[in-house]
Structure 1
Amino acid sequence: MADVQKGKPTLQKPPGYKDPTVPVQRYPRAPPRKLVLPPSFHQKKKRRSFRRICCCSFCILMLILTIIFLISFAVFYLWFDPKAPVFHLQSLSFRHFNVSVKTDGTYLNVATLTRVEVRNPNEKLTYYYGGSEVEMSAGKDKDIDFGSTNLAGFTQAKNNMTSLKIETKNNQLVEDGVGPRLMSRYKNKDMVVNVEVRTTVGVEWNGWKIRPLGVNVFCGGVTLKTLNREMPRCTINLLKW
């Protein structure tokens, strides 16, 4: 019986079999591999630093220029003490004012002579004016056109007063009811008149000139009676040209 056991074939161990009696050898774990990023993900430190330097330099330059401008403006204002020109509606008269009724309608034939006083109150600065466009009208809504004209430019010295002579005329068709009302207001001197001047004004000092600015001068909104007693002051607004 023992012989039979000795002759019994030995069983084969299955693949991957590990003998539990054999001690397991532990090998050191390899360090994790570092993830390699493509070149497009790399930060461009040099380019970023260059941009930062340029941005800071630009900001510093703008700050310096702003400070220089503010200091120059303060010095200019304190030294020259600039004042805006002053306009007054000096007078307004009519060469003729006729309302005629014809078969084809009612016509207003009018010719005006207006004077606008311009003063330069500065003691060190000279004003120079470009060509001017002048429009004359009547009514609070400026709905009655008295004509328009152009004036040549001129230079106004310091502490100087200039009187501008403005002549306009117009012959227009008006509504039948408007003509008699205008004639009545003209005779009673309660007609509201308006003068609007569009021009450019620049500053000059010892040959140095500052670029002229477009201005809109409005005189009027008053009756003929008021003009006989006083010279109303005109308003000045900068034009958005």
Structure 2
Amino acid sequence: MKKPAIQLKNISYTYDDGTTGLKNITLNIKKGESIALLGPNGAGKSTLLQSIPHILKPTQGEIKVLGHKVKNNEEWVRRKVSIVFQDPHDQLFMPTVFEDIAFGPMQLEICNKNSIEEIVKESLKKVGLPGKEQKGSHDLSFGQKKRIALATVLSMNPEIVLLDEPVSNLDPGARENMIKLLKQIDKTKIIASNDIEMVLQTCSKAIILQNGELKKQGPAEKILTDNQLLKKYGLRVPSIIKALGKEGLKHLK
């Protein structure tokens, strides 16, 4: 039996203005699982992602990562859990791509100056952008920025990767490139997105949030082909999935 990667027990989060971000969420995620977080805007998807490594510290409840209780955004947590933000501009802040990708490994001292060049090179190769080391992020397309943001996470070799809307605002080609990359990440993944087609290709389990509460969880294919259930929570089945039917879904994967 696979060991738990993340355990959440009665997690709640309240913003400074009194708004409820999360309410009594209990959830267990096993090592190697690929989980989709679904829900309308304001459902709590991003808040939940950021609560796991305590970027946002829960107001109450307990979170364990790989069996260890998380108390703050400690170094050991940053080594094990990395997040790719929705907007790559929140992740890319150094003058060059090389420095952006090197920043995390150097800060966490998981490499030395002699090995960082190889780590950056390998990370760029993984996201399909070799040779971009000396580019500035302002020289890249939005889709390339998204992939570089992913590379900054992969460079730290975390055991758990959290991704917030990884295919949002991408053109069709860039979206397909990102989906291929997500499928290749052989780690525990939690992906916040309402792109049902992408989720079906990359996730085995789906979780629906609404108003900060966990409303439904189960196999992705079962949940994401239930049009009545999705409509109840402000989501919808794309026409391509309706046309394919459950038997045809295997062609998406």
Decide: shared fold, TM above 0.5: no
Greater C-alpha Rg: 1
Provide the TM-score with structure 2 as the length reference.
0.21
Higher relative contact order structure (alpha carbons within 8 Å, sequence separation ≥ 6)? 2
Provide the TM-score with structure 1 as the length reference.
0.22
